[in-house]
Chains A and B, each alone.
Chain A
């Protein structure tokens, strides 16, 4: 009836066709990407851009990945605990602000808005500084504290709306009828503000589940949440697996927000909802009991590695053999690793920096010397890898895996032979060429094409810069993460690429082939290092020794498809992997390979030249 009574105004305000069009366009713009994402999560194909039929394949892959389950468990634990805390605090604050007048009330109300207005990144940095200052260990609890700080003001505001609308005479009536203050709160106030409390809780919950930035800054050992995990997976390109996780997150968030909305509108909460709420709390208790809070293990090992860069079976085996509880957190790049180490509170025992980063970390005294004597399996390391140029003492690193940057091409479009970097400057493939979005990689290729060894000479650098500028019109783009996807969708025909990624592409479809340039390739060596303030140095050495065992090393190579400098392990590897040049490049003399180094002061010149290329 009410709807019939409200009629359109005669002036036509708010009824313009344009207004409607723009509104709907805005909504479509908002929803379309989400719909595409959801649809493609059911795509059979590995690529994001081409439809190859309906499949649950990526959901299956998702649910069989233990590390994702761990991330989900972390996310849920953090979200539930921080929600409970922020709702309790929020209810108290709302009662205080709505019911009592006191000095500084206005100030308190305004302070509540700070986390709402302030950019997350500032909040994250500020919290991190505080945690470091008070020496609060980073872990799940620090993340929970951080989430409480940003979700509690939201909860307060939502709950306050309900408290203000609750007549004070209700509390008086309850006291008048003999109820104590606590009974009054439980029997009268809480049921009447419950819709506000629950929707406040759901807001807090969804904010906590979705948060990336603040979690990124405040997470420590064992606190990888789902968004952090998703971000670390991007390293391997945007796979439908990511779409699948995102779809689950979207569905979850939408359900939570719909519930919040529904509860805001209903006045009375049905019995069945109370039961649902009770079940929810029981689940929380269950989760808390099994959460790592209470699993006390005296022996621990905290690993900080890229995702999919260590066979999870080996970790399980190590844990079973030694009783040491292993926590694996994911890092995205060398710079992030450096930043965590510089904070000094990360608590990691083993990190996997690339050679040039070992050099930087060593200079900054961030690494502990490794006691080689307690690693008997060190003897299996290929001698040429033991005291390399980035640490001639050989005491700060144990080489883990190595690879190189070569080219991958689509043989349907590119005529062979692809054996020189020159092909990346070939006019025939204009718009179908791609380079990695990393200055060291790009300038190495340019230097090699010019016939130089890359060093700290300014004139060489400028020449390299000039041919890169010349190459730029031919490029599709500079890209590091989605190389595989762009190759698979044939938007790019030839790309500079890392050997691991080339291995995945060439094994997925024979039309993709390795291009190994005769001028030489840039090698990278990732190493196992122990941070200077590692809490479990002995366990780290035990784990390194465990990984260097030839059988374990071979198993690891089979899993991650990267070469390792372990000659005894090579004998245990299937021939097709050993003979695959993308995994094991044919190197005659390991002393002569070029690896990316830290240029020290010259980095500034390199960055400048790179910027000149990028903005040209």
Chain B
């Protein structure tokens, strides 16, 4: 179990990490997600011991390791650029940590063999790192860290240097690998797709603080802040006022556009100004009138972009506000040709969709 208590890192006046509290349980696949400069890598580097902690403490299995040297921590890192030792072969790279720890030769060979098999590197043991592809290098970096059986494996954007296809494949393998070895993974990324696909829990960071920490589904469906809502996926925001609210149903008034209903929420305080947000893929364009369980507003199509699996519409609402809508291309004609730019359409979504964000 890893525990961060009031962890802070300041560079002069810049608060790279500010009072972060976090508990990561054993065997968890935990993801630190955020734009560059949000402090996610700094947290990782403090856990690894490469950065001095300004304030706060780090506990590993209940033991305070805040000021331990990196070589005395039961933690290993997979670096963004892999940091393989260019002077050593694949085998020597992987065995490096074991040799340093003076583990017997037989034991060392057995463990390296195991991890080579696990990461699919069989046959590459004698190669030098410079003779490997990016994906292979990534596996060596992973194997080199895993072979030490650390309590925690830290991964710093391990997929960012790979091609999209390879990255996707490696992502699946990584997830499988983590389940097999059962080691706690802390994964740093700016790529929300990776985070959603891999993590048991995600911490979304901004400006050195954790905005929202929860399971991927919760983060996506019920973002707690505007930033989280905006950063993960796409989102349409409406400034509105709560007109009336009771258990399981809230009536919101969007100025110039009209009233919409959101069900399945707790009772809200009436008269309060809030943000109502709906994901573009939860909305549809229609000529038909809404059903009873649906909200409907009017708009004019301004842009239409064909994106392969989906078509993206930009629709202008009253008061010059624009929102985007994603339509699956399951009926190409319907979404792509039926509606044209300049047409006035109904925008319809279920009353169960959407989220209220308190400002």
State the total of A-B contacts with C-beta under 8 angstroms.
Answer: 68
- Per CB-CB distance, the 6 closest pairs between chain A and chain B, nearest first, are A177-B97, A169-B83, A173-B83, A191-B87, A175-B70, A178-B100
Contact A192 B76 (CB under 8 A): no
B85 contacts chain A at the CB level, 8 A cutoff = yes
> A residues bordering B, Cβ < 8 Å?
167, 169-170, 172-180, 183, 187-188, 191-192, 267-268
Residue of A nearest to B80 (CB): A169
CB neighbours (8 Å) of A169 from chain B are 79-81, 83
Q: Across the interface, which residues of A come within 8 angstroms of B97, CB to CB?
A: 177-178
Q: Residues of A contacting B148 with CB < 8 Å?
A: 177-178
Interface residue B96 (Cβ < 8 Å from any Cβ of A): yes
Task: Indicate the member of A177, A180, A188 with the most B CB atoms within 10 Å.
Answer: A177
Interface pair A180/B83, CB less than 8 Å apart: no
Contact of A179 among B76, B77, B83, B100 (CB under 8 A): B100
Q: Which residues of B contact A175 (CB under 8 A)?
A: 49-50, 69-71
Interface hits, B83-109 → A, CB 8 Å: 83-87, 96-97, 100-101
- Known A177-B144, A178-B100; contact A172-B50, beta-carbon cutoff 8 A: yes
Docked complex Cα distance between A179 and B73 (Å): 11
Once the chains are docked, how many angstroms separate the CA of A183 from the CA of B50? 17
Query: Is there contact, CB below 8 Å, between A180 and B71?
Result: yes
Contact (Cβ within 8 A) B81 A167: yes
B83 & A170 in contact (Cβ 8 Å cutoff)? yes
- Are B86 and A176 within 8 A (Cβ)? no
Q: Give complex CA distance A180, B75 in Å.
A: 15
Supposing A169-B79, A183-B100, A268-B128 touch, asked if A176 and B85 sit within 8 A by C-beta, the answer is no
Q: Which residues of A contact B83 (CB under 8 A)?
A: 167, 169-170, 172-173
Closest to A172 in B: B50
Establish whether residues A173 and B87, one from each chain, have CB atoms under 8 Å apart when the complex forms: no
Given contact pairs A173-B144, A176-B49, A176-B77, a sample of 14 additional A-B residue pairs in the complex whose CB atoms are under 8 Å apart: A167-B83, A169-B79, A173-B83, A173-B85, A174-B96, A175-B49, A176-B50, A176-B70, A177-B97, A179-B71, A180-B71, A192-B85, A192-B86, A267-B86
Q: What are 24 A-B residue pairs whose CB atoms fall within 8 Å in the complex? A: A167-B83, A169-B80, A170-B85, A173-B77, A173-B85, A173-B144, A175-B50, A175-B69, A176-B70, A176-B71, A177-B76, A177-B96, A177-B97, A177-B100, A177-B144, A177-B145, A178-B100, A178-B101, A178-B148, A179-B96, A179-B100, A183-B100, A192-B87, A268-B87
The digit string for B92-133, where 1 denotes a CB below 8 A from any CB of A, is 000011001100000000000000000000000000101000
A178-B97, A178-B101 given; A172·B86 CB < 8 A: no
Q: Which of B49, B75, B79, B130 contacts A173 (CB 8 A)?
A: B79
What is the minimal beta-carbon distance from B82 to any residue of chain A, in angstroms? 8
Chain A residues within an 8 Å CB radius of B70:
172, 175-176
Question: Which chain B residues border A187 with CB–CB below 8 Å?
Answer: 85, 96
Residue of B nearest to A173 (CB): B83
* Cα of A429 to Cα of B125 in the assembled complex, Å: 84
Q: Are B77 and A172 in contact (CB under 8 A)?
A: yes
Residues of B with C-beta under 8 A to A178: 71, 97, 100-101, 148
Q: Separation in Å of the A181 CB from the closest CB of chain B?
A: 8
In angstroms, how far is the closest chain B Cβ from the Cβ of A89? Answer: 23
Q: How many angstroms from the CA of A167 to the CA of B86 in the assembled complex?
A: 11
Min distance, Cβ B319 to any Cβ of chain A, angstroms? 51
The residues of B that contact A170 with a CB separation of less than 8 Å are 83, 85-86
Say yes or no: is B4 at the interface (Cβ < 8 Å to chain A): no
Specify the chain B residue showing the minimal Cβ separation from A267: B86
Nearest residue (CB) in B for A180 is B71
Enumerate chain A residues within 8 angstroms of B48, measured Cβ to Cβ. 172, 176
The minimal Cβ–Cβ distance linking B247 to chain A, given in whole angstroms, is 52
Nearest-neighbour CB distance to chain B for A3, whole angstroms, equals 21
CB pair A174–B69 under 8 Å, yes or no, is no
Inside 8 A of A173's CB, which chain B residues have their CB? 77, 79, 83-85, 144
Least Cβ distance of B2 to chain A in Å? Answer: 16
CB contacts (< 8 Å) of A192 on chain B: these are 85-87
CB distance from A83 to the nearest CB of B (A): 23
| A residues in contact with B84, CB < 8 Å | 173
